[in-house]
Amino acid sequence: MRFGKAVMLALILETMTGGVQAQKATATVTLNVTFVNPSCDITVPDSYNLGTLTLGSKEHEDLKITWHCASEIPLKTALMASIVTGVPQGDDKIRLIVGNKSSGTTLSLKEKGSSSPIKLMGINAQKYFCRDAKESNKKRTCTLTPVTNVSPEGPFGRASATLRFEVGYL
């Protein structure tokens, strides 16, 4: 029997590769990623003077806070506040201090147009105020109204408190 060269070559290749099977190889790769929110610049006055206080309750001039987040993608944000120095009075007031003593004056802050004071509980409590109504990548402004209540208890004199404002992502 005589085979053509092409048939003979095919027969030889079949004989050589007929016993070889394709091997499958797999590998698992774990990819770790850390997503970081864009940084935000927040601007608050270095200090805010409540002026001379007398007994009773008083609303003061507006306190404006602005912030802008470095993101091309619009985000929803809000602000949070915490007490640095002063004596907490519940979760929405701070008692001013005179020297190192608690005074008879409390301070609260209301968001413009609201009758309720904002919470002064810090970032972990996530008690937001001045929330964005919708996603934005523009500069935002929050207007707060400071409210003081002076009672006859405690020492009088030059009183102060320090608050920290932070941006939160919603």
Q: CATH number, domain at 57?
A: 2.60.40.1090
Residue 107 falls within a domain, yes or no?
A: yes
Residue 132 falls within a domain, yes or no?
A: yes
Q: What is the pTM of this model?
A: 0.78
Residue 22 falls within a domain, yes or no?
A: no
Residue 34 falls within a domain, yes or no?
A: no
HEC profile of the chain: CCCCHHHHHHHHHHHHHCCCCCCCCCCCCCCCCCCCCCCEEEECCCCCCCCCCCCEEEECCCEEEEEEECCCCCECEEEEEEEEECEEECCCEEEEEECCEEEEEEEEEEECCCCCECCCECHHHCCCECCCCCCECCCEEEEEEEEEEECCCCCCCCEECEEEEEEEEC
Residue 5 falls within a domain, yes or no?
A: no
The predicted structure's pLDDT at residue 119: 97
- The domain total for the chain is 1
The predicted structure's pLDDT at residue 21: 64
Q: Indicate whether 14 pLDDT > 80.
A: no
The predicted structure's pLDDT at residue 123: 80
Residue 27 falls within a domain, yes or no?
A: no
